[in-house]
Structure 1
Amino acid sequence: MKMVSQLVIMISTVVFVSFCESLSYIWPLPWNCTWGNQTLSVDPSLSLLVNGNSLIVQQAFQRYKRIIFKHGSNLPPTGLHYHINSLHIFLKSDDEELQLGTDESYSLLVTKTDPHSIVGGITIQANSVYGALRALETISQLCIFNYEAKTVEIYKAPWFIQDKPRFSYRGLMLDTSRHYYPLSVIKQIIDSMAYAKLNVLHWHIIDEESFPLEVPTYPNLWKGAYSKWERYTVEDAYEIVSFAKMRGINVMAEVDVPGHAESWGVGYPDLWPSLSCREPLDVSKNFTFDVILGILRDMRKIFPFELFHLGGDEVNTGCWSSTPHVKQWLQEHNMTAKEAYQYFVVKAQELALSLNWTPVNWEETFNSFPEKLNPQTVVHNWLGGGVCPKAVSKGFRCIFSNQGFWYLDHLDVPWDDVYYADPLEGIRDVFEQKLVLGGEVCMWGETADPSNVQQTIWPRAAAAAERLWSNKEATSSRSSAQLALKRLEYFRCLLTRRGVQAAPVKNKYARTAPVGPGSCYAQ
């Protein structure tokens, strides 16, 4: 308690600077901070003192220590007296449960170590282990390697930062159906998400082209994979979820029904209405819903996140009406094909809800039959603007992914269009604003595979990440664009230093290679 009391006294003497506009190298921008004019060296033998027994915090400290001291870690001792030799983390709770809305706020104090005090160096206060993780990322960005002195230094100290996310849901969607990504690549993407403080990996595992996931209850489903070598075992999926959690990232899986499901019939042809009508899934058969329930039950054992994506987009019901047995079923149930689409979506929602999942659906379901959707439904916008305002006005929660700005496969969208798109656009009511969970950038995989996916994601995903994390008033002025560009260029170079294949910021088309020689910081 003495350490905490001393920390409170030190913090109380700090004068806040509202926002941090003049910072040149922290991304996303912290909410409030103050800084000084000192340069402090950091001991490569930096020690950690933390209350509680969080393995996540312990491992994160070691992970960030390797990042911070990447240069010179094997150099012999220099005999230097380092200004900072300890990192203290004070956690209100070391509970490691991770769900939507888990507190990620933190306070960070960086001062010169006082040999006469037990407080000094780097100090973090956080309500959860995941707030501590976000603070460690900020610290890693403050630490700069001095090539002349061969030491890690923190400039503009002492620092005091108070930070929190603007939105609870800050996502990246990864499509592993259009092209297969090995586990190592998915893990690299998860690591890079943590660098930008994103916290949800929306794993679009399955689509019409391939079904790569093992489903023990229906083992023939992954016959729909591209090959025997392009699959994910149950153990693989567990590994991804665990790896992501260690970085404060939830994994939301998606099973897109009833459309985008042709690959299911490779293993179970009865799921196709006919050989000439391979999607949508056959609405007339109980077997279809048995398979969906089996998939969901198996996946519920793997994915603990409370949200589950059921798709529901781009459903062309034409061949239901032209397939004899489905047409007969429609007539017997006095349904049109459009009404059968509604029936299918609602029934899939009921199955997910029975497993204690909250259903997420693409916006077509809301656009077509909002009054029939379960009230817990999260509407996922993608087609264009104005959907989230309509959804929240009817009491639904919403995720923003307007394809005009946040679809990363749209290579002609420049960084600033990504940056200035806002999930709350057109929503003025404070209660309705709270129904917008946040947003996500979407990495559809038709033209991306392990050879180019990272440079397609980054750095534009970071532009959205700051919009989802930082104070809107500090980042919304077009007059601040040059400051934002400077910081984003710096962050892009930070990503490349960490091994992330991020493309130059100002390319006319995303993932385009540099046009000529030059500094990373001027491309």
Structure 2
Amino acid sequence: MGIRRLEGIFLWYLLCIFVISASAVDIKHLNIWPMPKSVSHGYGNLHLSNEFELRTDGSKFADASSILKDAFKRSIDVVRSTHVIEFNTSKIDPSLVLKGIRVVVSSPSDELQHGTDESYKLHVPARGSPLYAHIEAKTVYGALHGLETFSQVCHYNISSRGIQVHQVPWAIADQPRFSYRGLMLDTSRHYLPIPVIKKVIDSMTYAKLNVLHWHIVDTQSFPLELPSYPKLWNGAYSIPERYTFADGEEIVSYAKRRGINVLAEIDVPGHAESWGVGYPALWPSKDCKQPLDVSNEFTFKLIDGILSDFSKIFKYKFVHLGGDEVNTSCWETTPHVQKWLHKNRMNGSKAYEYFVLRAQKIALSHGYDIINWEETFNNFGKKLNPKTVVHNWLGSGVAQNVVKAGLRCIVSNQDSWYLDHLDALWQGFYSNEPLTNITDPKQQALVLGGEVCAWAEHIDASDIEQTIWPRAAAAAERLWTPYGKLAKDPEKVKSRLSYFRCLLNQRGVAAAPVDGLGREAPIEPASCYLQ
């Protein structure tokens, strides 16, 4: 089926829905998360064929690497995984059996990058023979979102013992509000095994998050192998708690096939004590081990080598250079660094600026735009390279000042979007608005989006899923759904979030109850939908 014909189907169907009744959109009974930009539905039911198939005729996307085919299989697998399917759809009226889904992608490319078009349209008719659902998308990654939404309108019917699509006909036109919708994992404070990271990536797709911010290294450990400087991972906790170079490539590939970019971070010049386990020359002294030695040219040579290696793995246009919580007293009290400061007419704060700006130039030379934590902006302002994205975390009002200065911003203010803050409730995650007090459309466009952060001092493989979910989903809707469709009172979406939390549980994700503090256990025996 050609693209023009599909477009005609969508236009005809949207017109029919509008003419039939405005009451056909019943938000109170929609269990889709995050809420789409535009959605209409009816009240009929279809059966999902036992031989439900993917059709891509008319699509420009050849799917040479099977991104779409694999995503289709995953979507159908999660739909069918909740129960054994006993119903035989070959024995009922074929006009009520959904035979498959036709996906038309207009771009032949599978390139994934910041700003990739993630829009899609989903149409599920009420009757027909043969009967197919339809997804139309500009890119394969929009189609993946369409498949996820489709999976959420499919339900196991306990009477028929088969899968039904409820509330047909459906007409959904959808696209994200923000291009950056992130989740940060910290693998320095506690090592996360690769299967755990992959499972988190899978769960991100259910909420339509699209950036995995990998805070790989920090003061405590350096678990990643880098060929240019192979002794760096001597700073890992142990030999088993390491990632090979190939492991890094695997994580990036796995995420890309699910529509997720991987943002790598090295936090400099502070938060880097573990670097010196393999290369002690990076420490100002044995007694004063961070920030990295600003007076040693080897420090910058090594950063250049790291970013050169990064450029072979991490293809996302941004790299995160940290820059937060830098205490320069180590530089000012170490004799040889003190001498270098005096020679270059710098004090500690000027040396901090010098380090950050020089690291930025190195990153730019490898083709990256830079993300830095907000302290760099608070201290240096417009001295930062114009390609800098400022990552807000300390509090409110920063994003407003950043965009006024003409720089881009990502919001992660710790009072609302830090997952390790177990007293931060889902209502605060839902209500946190990245564009607070930013009314100029040009300045609003400089806010790329936001990110929830799972700092891992008290998180490892044993508790990570219930720490992330369902609170991250509350932020995900804030970042995906148009502002006008977001609930002003979070309690109005509580039942739908509870439903999504139970859906995560059904898909094997250990999401905690909605009520209570982060990762809190159920209080008493009760239905999943009432917790």
Question: Do both share a fold (TM > 0.5)?
Answer: yes
**How far does the alpha carbon of each residue in 1:318-341 deviate from its partner, in whole angstroms, 9 at most, with x for none?**
110000000000000001110000
1:482-497 correspondence to structure 2 within 5 Å: 482-497=491-506
**How far does the alpha carbon of each residue in 1:395-428 deviate from its partner, in whole angstroms, 9 at most, with x for none?**
0000000000000000001110110001001101
1:263-342 correspondence to structure 2 within 5 Å: 263-342=274-353
| C-alpha contact (below 8 Å) 2:32/2:153 kept by paired residues | yes
CA distance in 1 between counterparts of 2:440 and 2:85 reads 56
CA distance in 2 between counterparts of 1:462 and 1:506 reads 14
Q: Which amino acid aligns with 2:518?
A: A
Residues 8 and 447 from structure 1, CA distance in 2 versus in 1: closer, same or farther, beyond 3 angstroms? closer
CA distance in 2 between counterparts of 1:316 and 1:6 reads 62
| C-alpha contact (below 8 Å) 2:85/2:162 kept by paired residues | no
Name the residue aligned to 2:528: 520
Which of 455, 462, 472 lines up with 2:466 in the alignment?
455
1:103-502 correspondence to structure 2 within 5 Å: 103-115=117-129, 120-478=131-489, 481-502=490-511
| C-alpha contact (below 8 Å) 2:179/2:449 kept by paired residues | yes
SS in 1 for 2:16: coil
The CA deviation at 1:14 is: 3.4
CA distance in 2 between counterparts of 1:84 and 1:73 reads 19
CA distance in 2 between counterparts of 1:477 and 1:328 reads 57
Residues 459 and 276 from structure 1, CA distance in 2 versus in 1: closer, same or farther, beyond 3 angstroms? same
The CA deviation at 1:23 is: 3.8
**How far does the alpha carbon of each residue in 1:111-137 deviate from its partner, in whole angstroms, 9 at most, with x for none?**
13522xx6x421011111011000100
The CA deviation at 1:8 is: 4.1
The CA deviation at 1:73 is: 5.5
CA distance in 2 between counterparts of 1:202 and 1:20 reads 36
Tell me how large the CA RMSD over aligned residues is: 1.5
**How far does the alpha carbon of each residue in 1:129-184 deviate from its partner, in whole angstroms, 9 at most, with x for none?**
01100010000110000112111111111010111100000000000000000000
CA distance in 2 between counterparts of 1:245 and 1:385 reads 32
Name the residue aligned to 1:505: 514
| C-alpha contact (below 8 Å) 2:222/2:232 kept by paired residues | yes
Q: Which amino acid aligns with 1:521?
A: Y
| C-alpha contact (below 8 Å) 1:20/1:30 kept by paired residues | no
The CA deviation at 1:206 is: 0.3
| C-alpha contact (below 8 Å) 2:427/2:491 kept by paired residues | no
Name the residue aligned to 1:92: 106
Q: Which amino acid aligns with 1:364?
A: E
Name the residue aligned to 1:61: 72
| C-alpha contact (below 8 Å) 1:85/1:113 kept by paired residues | no
The CA deviation at 1:266 is: 0.3
Residues 71 and 458 from structure 1, CA distance in 2 versus in 1: closer, same or farther, beyond 3 angstroms? closer
CA distance in 1 between counterparts of 2:111 and 2:429 reads 31
CA distance in 2 between counterparts of 1:94 and 1:147 reads 41
1:39-50 correspondence to structure 2 within 5 Å: 39-50=45-56
SS in 1 for 2:133: strand
Q: Which amino acid aligns with 2:244?
A: T
Residues 9 and 317 from structure 1, CA distance in 2 versus in 1: closer, same or farther, beyond 3 angstroms? closer
| C-alpha contact (below 8 Å) 2:87/2:161 kept by paired residues | no
CA distance in 1 between counterparts of 2:387 and 2:8 reads 45
| C-alpha contact (below 8 Å) 1:456/1:510 kept by paired residues | yes
Unaligned runs of 5+ in 1: none
Which of 104, 112, 116 lines up with 1:102 in the alignment?
116
Name the residue aligned to 1:24: 30
CA distance in 2 between counterparts of 1:489 and 1:426 reads 30
| C-alpha contact (below 8 Å) 1:90/1:125 kept by paired residues | yes
Percent of paired sites with the same residue? 52
Unaligned runs of 5+ in 2: none
**How far does the alpha carbon of each residue in 1:214-257 deviate from its partner, in whole angstroms, 9 at most, with x for none?**
01110000000000000000110111001101110000000000
CA distance in 1 between counterparts of 2:7 and 2:332 reads 72
SS in 2 for 1:62: helix
SS in 2 for 1:15: helix
Q: Which amino acid aligns with 1:495?
A: L
